[in-house]
Amino acid sequence: MFSDNFDASAGGLNVVPTGWTVIDGTVDVVSGGFCVAGLCVDLDGSTGDAGILSRSFALLGGVDYLLSFDLSGSRRGRTDDVLITFGTSTRFFDDLAGSSPYTGYSLSFTPGSDGVYSISFANAGGDNVGAVLDNVVITSLDGPPTEVPEPHSAALAALGLAALSFTRRNKI
């Protein structure tokens, strides 16, 4: 359904990744030793004011969704607190060590009704050294939606097949 490894974004300090929003501060789109490959996001930006990275999605009520992402420590020795929100589900990382390697995490959410819901990643830093995020993916645990023909479409198709059959019989 959705996947972003941030490689399509412009890299740089205090840069908002393509398709995302950042409120209440900044994030950095970085590369090199911070990322496994390509680009990733330092959730604490470079202004001394950590931003909240978010993105919204239209989701169907009653469908189980899974948010998965890779998160590592700052790689610069400091610990960070990080809050991840997906709809009404949350996951909190208390004192994520700066030496923590990239680890895959997940968070599930089932909307009660159709609507627009958000994911957000908030680093409680403010020291220009934040946890690092990569490979954000949202999938539907219920599988891809199945197309069900509308009743009148099915009736028209049946009528068409009957007419074809009648025409063939008259030619024989």
- The first and second tokens of residue 4, run together, are 């972003």
- The first and second tokens of residue 37, run together, are 């490959």
| Cα separation, 74 vs 97, whole angstroms | 8
Q: Would you write out the chain's pLDDT as a tens digit for each of its 172 residues?
A: 899 999 999 999 999 999 999 999 999 999 988 888 899 999 998 888 899 999 999 999 999 999 999 999 887 778 889 999 999 999 999 989 888 999 999 999 999 999 999 999 999 876 777 899 999 999 999 865 433 333 433 443 343 434 334 333 444 5
Domain ranges of the chain: 2-147
Task: Calculate the dihedral angle through the C-alpha atoms of 14, 69, 24, 115, rounding to the nearest 10 degrees.
Answer: 130
- The first and second tokens of residue 140, run together, are 């539907």
pLDDT for 143 equals: 66
pLDDT for 167 equals: 36
Looking at residue 81, its amino acid is D
- The rounded Cα 56 to chain-centroid distance in angstroms is 9
pLDDT for 148 equals: 34
Q: Which residues contact 114 (CB under 8 A, 6 or more apart)?
A: 58, 59, 60, 61
pLDDT for 59 equals: 96
Architecture category of domain 2-147 in CATH: Sandwich (2.60)
Taking each continuous run of H as one helix and of E as one strand, the counts in the chain are 1, 11
pLDDT for 117 equals: 97
DSSP letters, 20-67, are: -EEESSB-EEE-GGGSSSS-EEETT-SSSSB-EEEEEEEE-TT--EEE
pLDDT for 142 equals: 84
pLDDT for 71 equals: 95
